[in-house]
Amino acid sequence: MAGAALAVLAVAALAIWIDHRDLADRLLRQQPQVIQANAELLHRAITMGRPLYSKHCAGCHGGELEGSAARGVPDLARNAWLYGNDVVDVERTILYGIRSGHPKARNVTDMPALVRTGQITQGDAHDVVEYLQKLAGASFDQSMAERGRKIYYDKGNCYDCHADDARGVIDYGTPPLTGPVWLYGGDRATLYRSILDGRHGICPAWVDTLEPVQIRALALYLVAAGADRRLQTGNSRVGSG
Ligand code: HEC
Ligand code: HEC
């Protein structure tokens, strides 16, 4: 009797193991676009990715992908991606991180401390803040914004990293400076602080911690959840990061 029960259990365990191996195989072998177009497979990837998110990422990225401006963690719930919403790009970010110290990390540039290094003056920074207020559709001081516009395209070199239209550059991971989604914040004081001290946000590399299939599942989950509010709840928030 006990022997038969054990045999049934062993068969069940084997079936689960084969199923998991088969799923991992399908998720890694197929192109991400093919998985995204396959509702059943995408659902299974999301089912694998969501608890991994809660365990490893929610501490910084928030229980509902909302991020944290105080810590410079981007809001992934509003589909505003620094590095684009292509699954392959998101997967690369998760693998190697951002300014993580890993040799393959995303690290093309960061936000220089323009005032501290003397490239622009405090007055210049206040002027450029008014220009950014104008771009964001907030109230602004006309003559300061006019001077700030010149700083943006000339002395401050802002356009070089944030683009001519100030909408950011995916290849550099520069945020748009037009709102409404901000990395650190779009109020005057926070904008000024970004320009005064610079910013150097860090996301860890996961290549040595998670399996390739787990990283792919996380990328598929994040891209799906960024576009669909119903998928955003990563249930319990784990740790405080
Ligand atoms: C060498 C490239 C570079 C230059 C030049 C540069 N930035 Fe940035 N900036 C960045 C990067 C990269 C980030 C994102 C930093 C991060 O992810 O932590 C950033 C972030 C910011 C932020 C934070 C935005 C947010 O969403 O909270 C502001 C504001 C900003 N820059 C304004 C400016 C202004 C104004 C200038 C010109 C006076 C300027 N930057 C020049 C690269 C640059
Ligand atoms: C210690 C805090 C921390 C943890 C833990 C963390 N992240 Fe991040 N993550 C960040 C920060 C900060 C940024 C923004 C970096 C910057 O300024 O560019 C970021 C950015 C990202 C981005 C880029 C988003 C975009 O807009 O392109 C992705 C994707 C990402 N994280 C995924 C993850 C995943 C998946 C996990 C868990 C496996 C994770 N992160 C864990 C802090 C963290």
For atom 3 of ligand 2, which residue has the closest CA?
A: 60
Specify the pLDDT at position 79. Answer: 85
The CA 195 to ligand 1 mean position distance, Å, reads: 7
For atom 31 of ligand 1, which residue has the closest CA?
A: 111
Looking from the CA of residue 106, the nearest atom of ligand 2 is: 18
DSSP alpha helix (H) spans, 99-207: 122-135, 142-153, 158-162, 188-197
Specify the pLDDT at position 233. Answer: 72
Specify the pLDDT at position 237. Answer: 41
- Which residues 6+ apart lie within 8 Å of 117 measured at CB? none
Distances (CA, A) of 167 to 172, 179, 206: 12, 9, 29
The Cα angle at residue 9 between residues 3 and 11, in degrees rounded to 5 = 105
Q: CA 8, CA 6: separation in Å to the nearest integer?
A: 5
Nearest ligand, measured from the Cα of 131? 1
For residue 57, give the amino acid letter. Answer: C
Specify the pLDDT at position 241. Answer: 32
Specify the pLDDT at position 38. Answer: 96
| Closest residue by Cα to residue 222 from 69, 117, 102, 89 | 89
- Which residues 6+ apart lie within 8 Å of 158 measured at CB? 128, 151, 152, 166, 177
Specify the pLDDT at position 230. Answer: 82
- 174 is written with which tokens? 């520069």
Distances (CA, A) of 211 to 42, 189, 203: 18, 42, 18
Specify the pLDDT at position 189. Answer: 98
Predicted model pTM:
0.93
Query: 202 CB less than 6 Å from ligand 2?
Result: yes
Instruction: Give me the DSSP letters along 40-57.
Output: HHHHHHHHHHHHHHHHHT
Q: What is the dihedral of CA 191, 192, 193, 198, to 10 degrees?
A: 80
Specify the pLDDT at position 231. Answer: 85
Specify the pLDDT at position 19. Answer: 83
For atom 6 of ligand 2, which residue has the closest CA?
A: 57
Q: Which residues of the chain have pLDDT under 50?
A: 236-241
Q: CA 136, CA 12: separation in Å to the nearest integer?
A: 58
Query: 204 CB less than 6 Å from ligand 2?
Result: yes
The CA 205 to ligand 2 mean position distance, Å, reads: 9
For atom 22 of ligand 1, which residue has the closest CA?
A: 194
Report all structural domains of the chain as residue ranges with CATH numbers, in order of start.
Answer: 30-108+203-231 (1.10.760.10), 122-197 (1.10.760.10)
